[in-house]
Amino acid sequence: MLTSAYIDHTLLKPEATLKQIDQLCAEATEHKFATVCIQPCHVKYAADKYSVRVCTVIGFPLGVTSTQTKIFECQQALSDGAQEIDMVINIGKVKDGNFEYVQNEIEQLAKLVHSSGENKLLKVIIETCLLNEVEKQKLCQIVGDAGADFIKTSTGFSTGGATLDDIKLLRQYSPKHVQVKASGGIRDSSFAKELIQAGATRLGTSSGVALMKDIPTTSNY
């Protein structure tokens, strides 16, 4: 069953204004969405002004910044009031077979997030559209071993978004303690329900209000 508690109400467009952030937070409050997912520059504004749970993105959208840069971003976001962090892995390191680098980076951010207070969560974006099946399976185990809370399909800024097959794969190969977040291209309630049935426990979408009203949209995220 699709409920508002599944939804990270998302606005990550670079041109987002404070007026739009206000609207996003007001909608999240009204509909009781799990979080608002916004760019780091808006975290303090939203956290100070609203009681809604704030999620932000780190190393977004390409994942190619250094581990130290991601750590600094994460520290700042947590200090500003973020309660959930969605980080992007270094996909090039995956393609190089350097899974040790990827796991070490996730481990450092997981420790930072979890040490910052109770009920703080780390989600790991692996950008499934750029990976083969073996890489996806390997990353499921790495994300779990590194201590993250969620594995997440997509940034919404690459070549594809969430698919039912990917959600099924991530749920099958991830440890039980790791939840699955679907994101990218979730535009109607029927698809959202299918993703939940396939194993997703969180949905990243800018169409949260429309989903609650069962109105299809054309948003890419």
Closest CA to 8 of 113, 138, 149: 149
Pairing of strands 150-152, 179-183: parallel
Residue 218 located in a structural domain: no
* Residue whose tokens read 């039980």: 176
**Tens of pLDDT, residues 66-113:** 999 999 999 999 999 999 999 999 999 999 999 999 999 999 999 999
d(CA 167, CA 182): 7
d(CA 204, CA 160): 14
Residue 137 located in a structural domain: yes
pLDDT at 216 (0 to 100): 56
Structure letter (DSSP) for residue 4: G
Contact by Cβ (8 Å): 200, 167: yes
**Tens of pLDDT, residues 172-192:** 999 999 999 999 999 999 999
Residue 48 located in a structural domain: yes
Residue 157 located in a structural domain: yes
Contact by Cβ (8 Å): 13, 41: no
Contact by Cβ (8 Å): 136, 126: yes
Residue 36 located in a structural domain: yes
Residue 217 has pLDDT above 70, yes or no: no
List residues with catalytic annotation: 152, 181
d(CA 79, CA 44): 8
Residue 198 located in a structural domain: yes
Question: What total of structural domains would you count in the chain?
Answer: 1
Residue 220 located in a structural domain: no
Report the CATH number that the domain containing residue 157 is assigned in CATH. Answer: 3.20.20.70
Segments forming the whole domain that contains residue 143? 4-213
When pLDDT is averaged across residues 197-202 and rounded to a whole number, the result is 98
Residue 221 located in a structural domain: no
From residue 29, alpha-carbon distances to 43, 45, 188 in Å are 16, 15, 21
- pTM value is 0.96
From residue 122, alpha-carbon distances to 19, 109, 165 in Å are 27, 8, 23
